[in-house]
Amino acid sequence: MRRVHAENHLIDRIGWLRAAVLGANDGLVSTASLIVGVAASSAVSGEILVAGTAGLVAGAMSMAAGEYVSVSSQSDTERADLARERRELEQDPASEREELAGIYVSRGLDRDLALRVADQLMAKDALGAHARDELGISEFTTARPIQAALTSAATFSAGAAMPLGVAAVSPTNLVVYSVSAASLVFLALLGALGAKVGGAGIPRATARVAFWGALAMAVTAGIGHLVGKAV
């Protein structure tokens, strides 16, 4: 008996991977930068922790709302495209058959074979065939607003909790250095994890995330120091 070979493709993860990586990275960088900036202004420990906690809560809510609105807009567009395609299939199936066959011809099939493939696919699920091959909509890439919102909020909170935890246990005069160093380590690990899960090159992804995180913290530390002196 022939065994069916099961395959797990990285594209299966794209729906949640983007929101997860973006959320954790944003939570870590923004909260660490906020803490470093406030600490550099010569604030006391309590003020630093209040600012970091406020940044965590506000950032998580903002990420959730932003992702929900953005992905909902994508979902609305997908539904509108599918509704229009459904109407076209009902009103002019012959033209839709030709359109689908033309797609397969452009991919390398001869016309007769392309027409047979279009006929067979449309006989089984005409809308599904056009959604995949004409519109590029599939079960793996379709928009999921609630999933994206919850994932972003949770991962932002997880990322933000890392520098906040370091700030909570560090002496006030060392918060800038300890949070900066720990955050760079966390960012490197996050970059490596995201690259591994997504099948990308680990060194490049790690360096990219660490560089932009270090730049963000350096800028906010400088601004915090200047504001602290001015005030």
- pLDDT tens digits for 217-227? 888 878 877 77
Over range 41-46, report the average pLDDT.
84
- pLDDT tens digits for 149-169? 888 889 999 999 999 999 999
Over range 115-120, report the average pLDDT.
87
Alpha-carbon gap, residue 221 to 180, rounded angstroms: 10
Alpha-carbon distance values, 146 to 64, 68, 94, 149 (Å): 9, 6, 38, 5
H helix runs in the chain, sequence order: 14-40, 45-91, 93-106, 111-130, 145-169, 175-198, 202-230
pLDDT of residue 1: 46
pLDDT of residue 226: 78
- pLDDT tens digits for 75-105? 888 888 888 888 988 888 888 888 888 888 8
- pLDDT tens digits for 187-210? 888 777 767 766 667 788 778 878
